[in-house]
Each structure stands twice: as structure tokens, then as C-alpha cells.
Amino acid sequence: MTLFDTNMKALRERFPALAPLVEAASAACPEADGEYSLEAGGNAVPALRARGRLVHSLRDPVREGRRLAEGAVGSGPVVILGFGLGYACDSFVHTDRPLVIAEKDARVLALAFGVRNLVGLLLRDNLAFVVGGPPSAVLSALETFPGVPSVIVNRALRETDPDWYDAAAAALRLRRAKDEINAATLRKFGKLWVRNLSANLDAIRDLNGIVRLDAVAAGFPILVVAAGPSLDQVLPLLPALARRCVVVAVDTALRAVLASGIDPDFVLVIDPQYWNFRHLDRCVAPRSILVTESAVYPPVFGAPFARAFLCSSQFPLGRFVEDRVEPKGELGAGGSVATTAWDFARRLGASSIWMAGLDLAFPGLKTHFRGAFFEERVHAESRRLVPAETRSFHALRDGMPFLAADASGGRVLSDRRLSLYAAWFEARFDRFPRMRTLGLSPHGLRIQGLELADAADAMALPERREEWDAVLTDALARIDEEDRLGNPAESRAARYAAARALLADGLAALARTAREGERIARGALERKLPEADAAAALRALDAVFAEVELSEVKDVVGFLFPGPEELEEGLRTKADDKITRHLEYSAAMCARLAEAAEYHAALLGGRALLGGCALLGGRALLSGRAAPHAGR
């Protein structure tokens, strides 16, 4: 069996969809046209030349690969832009770090498979390939890999297709910007989200997950209504469109949809912040189904919807309980509720998804549709020295704005945050290429994979409202009947009680362990132990950290744990005194770990009150009156 055959056997085992592409590239004889060629490097190790440029060092390509790998600092995923013969990947074969290999030309993989044994690489865990296709697909590959990615670029291969590789690098920069924004948001709102979850955990026990709605709208077109400025042009047509499509509205657009005389079929409320909840002010939708997650501002569960379904939580505390009670159903989170709404429409089984109000830009220098809560709030808070125009100006300026191509080929003002949402859409469109998505925003940001359509195209769809209403009614009745006969609520309640007990015990144990680690570290610092005795303290700390690593709740507590930069800010010892500095760092780390565990335990040990709303026994108490969970 040749090296190529050996590698292909491993590839078929791990990546069966990729195997035909590599086989076809090999059959095309990659060296025949002279674009690629193989040469013998030092110690007869093969090297690759692409369009006359050496991809690897002729002297020692293996050593060069190790040197490139050393630049991938941290513990997050590693992205290889330009595979070559795979030398840069060798250093990661026996590590747990996620590895994403992005290679524009499958012929390069075919050449590598013919001259190197790559079975160890191909069979390792946490490996993904992006071969050709849209360069933004690297974001899809990274979705399941947490952490800040490190990027290794093969400059010679980049020169073979700079547009593709530069676009992939730009997508990765957007991912890094998103991570930075998420980290800043976590620092600002992390405790709020934990408080919300602590108040809402009973909803995980009481509510069905969206998994029960999978494919319920199979074969129906779905209209997703977002809150961009172009929604103003669609609203007059909304009653007619609702007769032709299933209607999914985001929370920020709900008041506009209701004002047009339409109760959307589904309303998505995902953002946990108080001001996001205010988008539901004076919104009464008794025929609409709420789709939400367990970290939202608690009064959401008392809002007047027909019933509610949960999607899986984005946060460790919610996932800890859901994993032990019942999976609710994942929805992609791209930073905007519109991204989540698209993914929900996909899960419903849409034949096509029509996006209204998805601008991701500021056409006409507008930020939202006319009458949006944001706009009303700006006018209500307007003062002589801070008029509404000032706040609107800041909304346009503060997000690092830039001019970008719009869907019609013109130019439109967008910003970095909105471009992140666009990159998420492009990655999802690439991941689900059969999911046809059409946009009704001609002057919104151009998004690769989003077809531009106009209202006439949507109005040409056949009317199916009565058919859909019957399908949804039957589906909900079937869910209720299954619940009545199988009584999943009782089994969920038992699993929920066990999960709460496990969580409480785990938090208490982790807090004790962390406090013991803090005591050891601070004691060693105070006594100024000699190096031999300090080594004993360090061994004791190693045992503490090993126990922390085994804790089932470490991810829950780690959500509020600061990064290494923040921990190092308070250290007083210089870096050259390594033992003392390590003890200081360990003391700070254990203290913050204990604080996070104790914070969670304090919230979960009693009733969490937020903004006049508490969740008691699965019911929301709002403004002194009881309101049942939607859908009960």
C-alpha cells in the first residue's frame, strides 16, 4: 500500500466528504502543469515548490515547521493557512489543541498525501479541514473550538491565491474582534447573566425545548423580521407576506410587527439585558410562541405570549443543568438576535428563509426602523445639551464605522460590530449551502450567500396561512398529548432536583478547595519560606489545582473567572523572583475562584430577585401579581 493509499484510508475514516475531493485532485496530476513540484530537501525530506516559490526550507523543512508552530502561543485553537506538506502541523499531532487546516487547493493535500505519512495527524481529535470554498468557512470550523485562535500563515502558498487567504485571515481577525468584544461584555455583564440564570433555572425544568419543534415547518417559506431601517419599506406588505410565510420576529422588531396587525408565529428573545427586555413594552402577542433561553431578564417569562419554548443556554450554568435534565436544542449565536432567528428558521425546516430588516448597516444614516424602542428612548431622554441627534451621532460613530459594499453594488455605512454579524451569516450560509436565504434589504451590507430579492418575489409565493395554522395547531396538540401520556415533567423534575443538589455540593466543595489553596499560598508568602520549604507548598498547591480540575462545576465557576492579565495586574513581586511570584499568582487565582464559587452558591441558595421579578416554583411574579409561565 502506497503512502497516498494509507493516508486516504485514514481520511475516509475521519473525513469521508473530503476524500473524493483529494482523490480527484490526485487524479488530475498536480505536478503536470508545473504549478506545483516536489524537491528533495535536507536529509532527503521532501519540500514543495508552488509557482516557483519554495513553500518549505530546502535545508530542514521539519525544523522550520517546528519554528512556525512555536509562534502559536496560548492554548486556543490553531489555524494553519496553507497546509503545504504539513510540517507546521507535526508539532500538534500529539497535543489536545484544536487544529483547523485551511488550504485553498486540494492538489496540495494530494501531493502531501503522496510523500508523507500523515495518519497520526488525520486521526487526531479536534481536527477540521477547510479546503477551497468560501474563505469565511474557517469561522464555521472554529465554532466548536473555544478559545482565542493562533494563526500560522504559509506565505508562499498565500501568494498562490492572496484574495482567498487574505479573506480567510480577515475572517479570523473578525473572530478575534468578536472574542475581544465578548470578553469585555463578560467583564461588564457576567454577574448579571448569572443572576438571571439563577432566577430562571426552574424554566429548564418546566418548559419544553425547541427540539420539539424541529422540522415542524418543513416545506414552508419563513419570513424572519429583523429591526433594521429597511423594515419600514416591508411593513406595509407584512399582512400579505404573513399569508404566504411563517413569520419569525426578533424582539426588537415585535412592536412594529404587532402595529402592522400581525401576530408573528414565533418571537425570539435572547439578549439577557434589562434594556433588551424593554423592547417588549406594551407588546401583547397572545397568539405568538416565545422562543427564549434561560438567561434572559426574568420578567420575559411573564410576558403575554401563547406559550414558550427554550433553546439551549449559551452559558455554563444553564448548560450544566440542561445537560442533566434535558437538551433543549442548540441555536447559533452570532451576537445579534437576527442570527439566532435565522438558525431557528433553519431548524423549523424552512424551504427558504426571507430576511426583512436585515441591514447590518446604516442606510440613509438610520440605525433602526421608525418607532423602534431605541429611537423612542433617545427622544424621551433628549435634553437641550444632549439632544436626540447627539445620541444618534454616537450610535453611528462609536462602533468604528466604515464604508462597505451594499447588496445592490453601491456603498453603505456599516461598522465593526455589524460586520461581525455579517461574517457569522456567511459562515452559516457556507455550512448549510442548501438553505436558500433571500434578503429584502437592497441597501443593507452585502453578505456572501444572501440572495437579493424584492417584495414582488415574496408576494409571488402562494398563500398558505390556513395550511400552516393547521400544521402548527396539530404539532402543538401532539406535543401536549405526548407530555400528557409520557409525563416528562415528572421525570424532568426528578433530574432537575438531582442537578441542583449536585450543583450545590460541587460549588461548596470547590469553594472549600480554593480557599485551602489560598491559605497555603498566603501562608507560604507570609512566612517567607526558604526554597526547599516553598517547594513543599508548591506541591500542596499542585494537589489543590488537580482537585479543582476534577470538579464537575469548574466550567460553571470559570465563567466568572478573570483572565491571566487581570490576575497579574495585582502582583507585587517582580518576574525574576519566580517562586514568590508563583505563590502570589496562586493566592490570587484561588481567591477569585473561591469568590466565583461562593457567588454562584449564594444566588442558588436563595431566591434571586431582579428588577421586581422572582421565579418561584416555575412562575413569574411581576409587579405583585402572578403570571403563569407562557405555555403552561
Ranges 215-229, 513-527, 568-582, 585-599: which has the least confidence: 568-582
Q: How far is CA 536 from the centre of its chain?
A: 42
What cell does 331 get?
A: 441555536
pLDDT band at 63 (very low <50, low <70, confident <90, very high): confident
Mean pLDDT score of the chain? 86
Q: What's the number of CA atoms in the CB half-sphere (13 Å) around residue 593?
A: 29
Q: Which of 106, 88, 107, 90 is nearest to 37 (CA)?
A: 107
Residue 254 and residue 264 in contact, taking contact as beta carbons nearer than 8 Å: yes
Which pLDDT does position 398 carry in this prediction? 67
Which pLDDT does position 31 carry in this prediction? 65
Query: Mean pLDDT throughout 335-344?
Result: 91
pTM to 2 decimal places:
0.76
Measured over the CA atoms of residue 585, residue 589, residue 592 and residue 598, the dihedral's sign is negative
Sequence-separated (6 or more) residues with CB below 8 Å from residue 66: 87, 90, 91
Domain ranges (residues) in the chain: 3-160, 489-610
Please state at what angle helix 416-431 crosses helix 337-348, rounded to 10 degrees. Answer: 20
Query: Mean pLDDT throughout 147-157?
Result: 88
Query: Mean pLDDT throughout 193-209?
Result: 94
The whole-angstrom separation of Cα 410 and Cα 402 is 14
| Residue 42 in this model has a pLDDT that exceeds 80 | no
| Residue 60 in this model has a pLDDT that exceeds 50 | yes
Ranges 29-38, 379-388, 430-439: which has the least confidence: 379-388
pLDDT band at 377 (very low <50, low <70, confident <90, very high): low
Identify which has the larger pLDDT, 87 or 1. Answer: 87
pLDDT band at 57 (very low <50, low <70, confident <90, very high): confident
Query: Mean pLDDT throughout 51-67?
Result: 85
Residue 87 and residue 56 in contact, taking contact as beta carbons nearer than 8 Å: yes
| Residue 618 in this model has a pLDDT that exceeds 60 | no
| Residue 99 in this model has a pLDDT that exceeds 60 | yes
Q: What is the full DSSP assignment across 456-489?
A: HHHHTSPP-HHHHHHHHHHHHHHHHHHHHHH-HH
Which pLDDT does position 390 carry in this prediction? 67
Query: Mean pLDDT throughout 4-22?
Result: 93
| Residue 610 in this model has a pLDDT that exceeds 50 | no
